[in-house]
A = this chain, B = another copy of it.
C-alpha cells in the first residue's frame, strides 16, 4: 500500500488531487478497479478517463483534464514501470542451500542465498549474497555470480563465466558454450579450440533459451543493463554496449561489436566482424552485413537506411505495373 504522493515521488511525476489517497495495486486501464492506479497511454483512454474504474491515473504532463486523481509525468510509461516495480518487487527469499544440491567444497558462497534442489556448482565458484539458483541450474568451474542475481531453472553456465550483480537469466539460457569455428582440412572440419570466456555486466537480463558463446581468445562481453529476449544467439568474441536491447530470435555472428543504447528488433541477423555504433535501431528481420554508424536506423536484406528501404519497398509493390509499362514503351518504340 502506497499513497498517491509516494507513488508520484518514486515514479517521477506530480500529483493532481489528494496526495494522501491510498493505492493498493496497478492494473491495465480496462481492468482497473477502486484502489488501483493505471496508465492512460492511448489517446482514446486520455479522452475518457472516467471510463476506468481506477482510483488514479498516470497521464502525460500536458494533460489538462483534472476529473480524477492523477500523476502527471513527462514520461508516463516510465512512471508506470517504476510504480509497477514498487508493487511487483519480490523480496529475496532466504531458502539456504538445499541438501539436494551438489555444491563443490571449494566454492565460496556468501549467505543468504537460495540454492534449490538439483543445482550443481563446480569447483572454485564464487556465489555472492542474495543469489537465487533455481532447480537444474548448472554452474561450471570457476564461475562468479554477483549479488542479487537470479538464475531460473535449467540455466547452464560453462566454466569461467562471470555474471555481475542483479542479473536475471531465464530458463534454459546457456552462457559460455564454445564459439563456432572450424577450418576444413580438405577431408574434414578441424575445430578451432575456444579457450576464452564470457563476462556479463550488472543488471543484465537474458530471456529463455538464449545463448552467449565464449570467446575464442579473450572475452565475450555484455555490458551492464543489456537486455536480451528469448532465443537470441550471441556468437564468440562479441561485445555489446550498455543498455542495448536485443529482441527475440536475433542472431549475432562472431566478433561483432554493438554500441550503447541500440535496439535490434526481432529476427534481425548480424554478420561476423561487423561494428554497429551507438543508438542504432535495426528493424525486424534486417540482415546487417556491413558496419553501421551511430544514430542510424537500418532495415532490409542489406541493412540500408530505413527510410530508403521503405521507399524501395513502396516502388517494389509497383513492379508488375512498371514491367507492363516497359513492355508498352518497347512496343511503341518498335
Instruction: Verify if A20 is at the interface (C-beta below 8 Å from B).
Output: no
Instruction: Verify if A180 is at the interface (C-beta below 8 Å from B).
Output: yes
Interface segment out of the listed A55-63, A64-72, A168-176: A168-176
A 286-318 contacts with B by CB, 8 A:
287, 289, 300-302, 304, 308, 311-313, 315-318
Instruction: Verify if A195 is at the interface (C-beta below 8 Å from B).
Output: yes
Contact, CB under 8 Å: B229 / A180: yes
Interchain CA distance A322-B208 in the complex, whole Å? 46
Instruction: Verify if A319 is at the interface (C-beta below 8 Å from B).
Output: yes
Instruction: Verify if A109 is at the interface (C-beta below 8 Å from B).
Output: no
A 170-191 contacts with B by CB, 8 A:
170-172, 174, 177-178, 180-185, 188-191
Interchain CA distance A284-B156 in the complex, whole Å? 28
**List of B residues within 8 angstroms of A136 by Cβ:** 118, 120, 136, 138, 154, 156
Instruction: Verify if A278 is at the interface (C-beta below 8 Å from B).
Output: no
Interchain CA distance A253-B172 in the complex, whole Å? 19
Interface size class of A (residues with CB under 8 A): 35 or more
Of B28, B78, B285, B308, which one neighbours A217 at CB under 8 angstroms?
B28
Contact, CB under 8 Å: A333 / B332: yes
Contact, CB under 8 Å: B153 / A156: yes
Of B138, B180, B229, which one neighbours A153 at CB under 8 angstroms?
B138
Query: Chain B residue with minimal CB distance to A269?
Result: B267
Instruction: Verify if A75 is at the interface (C-beta below 8 Å from B).
Output: yes
Task: Pick 18 A–B contacts, CB within 8 A, sort by A.
Answer: A81-B182, A85-B190, A89-B193, A138-B154, A152-B156, A152-B158, A158-B171, A178-B205, A189-B225, A208-B213, A209-B210, A247-B253, A249-B269, A269-B285, A311-B319, A311-B320, A312-B320, A318-B323
| A contact set with B: CB distance below 8 Å | 27-28, 31, 75, 77-78, 80-82, 84-85, 87-89, 98, 100, 102, 116-118, 120, 134-136, 138, 140, 152-154, 156, 158, 168, 170-172, 174, 177-178, 180-185, 188-193, 195, 203, 205, 207-211, 213, 217-218, 224-225, 227, 229-231, 233, 235, 242-243, 245, 247-249, 251, 253, 261, 266-267, 269, 271, 284-285, 287, 289, 300-302, 304, 308, 311-313, 315-320, 322-323, 325-326, 329-330, 332-333
